[in-house]
Structure 1
Amino acid sequence: MSGASNLTIGLPFQALRLALSRFAAKNGLVMSSHVAMSLMLALFPFMLFTVGLAGTLSQDYVTEELIELMFGAWPEEVADPIVAELRAVLQGAGSGVITVGGLLAVYFASNGVDAVRVAMTRAYHDVDTRPFWRARLLCIALVIGGGAAILAIAAVEVVLPIYTRLVSEKTAVNASEWLSVERIRWTFTVAIPVIMVIGAHLILPPVRHRLAQVLPGVALTLFLWAAGGWAFSVYISSFATYSTTYAGLAGAMAALIYLYLSAAMLILGAEYNGALMDLRDKRSGAGTV
């Protein structure tokens, strides 16, 4: 009993060591750079399209809410330069943002999702037999669904103050105290990265894994993101000299490096899940012999 218990306790550490070994053997850092560059090329057009569309539909009423929602989980030192450029482009943007430019933004954003799909497939040791058009349609559908979800969340943040005021006027309950915009926004800011990571593990690989199988890697990635985001913000604010090295490109370079580290943590989480599955299969097979 104690031997089996020791094996169970030691399994996560063995899986982490195996995951790190596989990550290095499969050039995980190189794949992370590919994912980061693809996401960087996809991120700005997608956000420009989503925020521009929302601003057009709402007469710019929800623009700030959307920007805060999209970049709320990013370190301020990384997000601020991108947000400044996003606002500058939106001020001079015309209808092209939501017409031909919008179609191109969706396609470029699907490239970023497809890069994550390839990385997750490699990490899980799966073989993707889906044709190109089917995988690309999946990525485009996820981009459109993600944009629609962000717009819906922004709409909730706009409607919520009106609803809480009406409830407070008609009842004795002060709804604004427990259902405030700040609290809801913080909840969404935390929930969006969690949903994105879980979706990357459950939807993108060609083999459908159970939720219980992917949760360890999801937890590892989210923990590394939180710790890494804090450490990176401290590094940017205290030690980095991007402004002197890259001049006007300092903000873009900081964002690219941040995405690079985030991609590495996401791939490592998938490698961790794959290692856990393999070790458990090996032990269960040895136990039945």
Structure 2
Amino acid sequence: MTAVSVIGLGAMGGRAAARLAADHPTLGYDLSPAAREAAAQQGVQIVDTPEQAAKADVVLLSLPMPADVVAVAEDVLASHLGEGAVVVDLSTIDPAGAQTAAAAVAARGAVYLDAPVLGRPARCGAWTLTAGGDAAAVERVRPLLEATIARAVVRVGDVGAGSVVKLLNNLMFGAINAVTAEVLTICRLAGVDPALFAGTVAESGAATVSGLFRELAPKIVEGDLTPAFALDLLAKDNRLAVALAGASGAPTLIGSAVDQVNRLAVARGYGALDTAAVHRLYADLSADRPA
């Protein structure tokens, strides 16, 4: 049986490890004692070091920042992976970071795939993974991933391409997130009940309705900012997307505005809250305006 491990047992990695552990012996490592304990309760075999986790045949990464992925690739995987191992990186990082990690892994005779997740943590098992990297390696891990954490693994190109798709997806998320907060603020200041507006639009046949609007609008109206996706992580993803656009020569008239909204909201201390917390920024700015 293929030996599997997960390095990074947070919101996404913890879900992935639990799904894998239901069918396969799965090793797990995380810096957080709470994350380790939660994974252990789901049947994941916790190891003491990332080096131990790196010895599996298939190693999944789920780490918060590009620098974390590069550090693990260069400091751990490059010296402890087995030859022929496949690293499946579920993290949301920049294409350059993915390529750096891939080079470190390749030096060990192993293969790196950037395969970030399209889908919420609770949808683990029905995720889509956008994989960049060697086609044969994608086919090697596809049965394992599609039997456990993913509805589909879609190869979108070479290493880095998976990250491009994910960053652009999350830039769309950021735009919908910001404009939802904006329109509900305008609605309130214009004298219309935001709850009435949100409910009416959500149940209409309007082309503007999306699953994300239906999720975000009630959070904003009810003030429930329990993080399903933390604003500081969205801000990181959108910052990387804008940088990607700049490197590609693409204009970001909307993307740059979204990036600025996120930066302002994080600067006001809302980064640990749900992305819907950008509504608090709009409320703050409205209150700050002279009468």
TM-score norm. by structure 1 comes to 0.26
Bigger proportion of residues as helix: 1
TM-score when normalising by structure 2: 0.26
Structure number with higher strand proportion: 2
